[in-house]
Structure 1
């Protein structure tokens, strides 16, 4: 199942992708695996054909086993992230560190603190020159500044929480 904003799910349906579930910022919905809430993300959003991609969003996922994951998506640091921490924090936060188009490493450290993450996986970096980052240096900075664990994944690798 594809869970995304309404515009992307509608576009995918027009491309033949079935079983989409459209949502929007601030909305939440219970699925068989748990509950998904769409969070604010500040970024551009366009579809492959150049049409409007709708509101960019992050996802706060509460799994039935009690695990909480925050996928920030492409976003800048926002003060709204504090609301996630105030609600109890997350077991894992996936945060962009690429800078230039999203938050960079320093802002990602602040975001990890805002959402009270127990662990962070850095995302959206090193795919092309303007967003080249040293993920190991970010991991060390995160540990030093906030005593938060960080797992740096190689492309194609997996992580079990």
Structure 2
């Protein structure tokens, strides 16, 4: 059993009962944060790109908890500048990394990276017998179909806020391309510019695809 706990914006925790994997821990300064940076526990921290609302508190959480950072080398370089000596697993697009909880595979994302020389990414996370795709920040792109073809996805965690990422309609098409059994929308309603009617997203995605859409409020936990 894997639990998904949503901390707000694009930050969430995956917990298989033995390992805690947190993604994009933007908590300090996040008006929707459901937990304080000081209270987060983690064994691994996955970072999709270097924008402040995704890199967030990653170096400080890693320093306090001993968690290892996973990300693009240029992004991890920023973490090293802030807190030297952190445990790191640098990766790049298309690469896979075996870790004690399972495996992560780094995927393409269509988005700016927030650091010179870097690229934005997503991840397929193999944990607790599940395959969970975290898109990071991205536009819709047709190669999402390849991601779903390579991995029989149980869950897709997709941004739906529009303006900086896909909006509702494009994220519904992304769910169709990925062919995941379940979808969790994130990256919405943090600020007015990305306010969305997420229940409408659930309606259009479930009408377009066989997927079940789970709306998880900040602070809530979904048993996967």
Q: TM-score, normalised by structure 1?
A: 0.90
Q: What RMSD over aligned residues (CA atoms) do the two structures have, in Å?
A: 1.5
Residue 54 of structure 1: aligned partner: 118
Residue 103 of structure 2: aligned partner: 35
Deviates most, 6-15 or 118-127: 6-15
Q: Does 1:20 align with 2:20?
A: no
Distance 1:117 1:23 in 2: 24
Deviates most, 51-60 or 143-152: 51-60
Distance 2:155 2:90 in 1: 24
Determine helix, strand or coil for the equivalent of 1:141: helix
Determine helix, strand or coil for the equivalent of 1:137: helix
Q: Shift in Å at residue 147 of structure 1?
A: 2.7
Deviations 1:100-123 (A, max 9, x none): 111111111111111111101001
The answer to whether the 8 A contact 1:13-1:20 is kept is no
Distance 2:223 2:90 in 1: 27
Runs of 4+ in 1 over 2 A off after TM superposition: none
Q: Shift in Å at residue 52 of structure 1?
A: 2.4
Residues matched between the structures, number:
156
| Structure 1: gaps of 5 or more residues | none
Distance 2:216 2:177 in 1: 23
Determine which structure has greater relative contact order: mean sequence separation of CA pairs < 8 Å that are 6+ residues apart, divided by chain length.
2
Structure 2 counterparts to residues 57-136 of structure 1, below 5 A: 57-63=121-127, 65-136=128-199
Deviations 1:25-47 (A, max 9, x none): 1111111111111111011121x
Q: Does 1:2 align with 2:69?
A: yes
Deviations 1:48-94 (A, max 9, x none): xxx4271100001122x421000000000111110122224310100
Question: 2:216 pairs with 147, 153, 159, which one?
Answer: 153
| Structure 2: gaps of 5 or more residues | 1-67
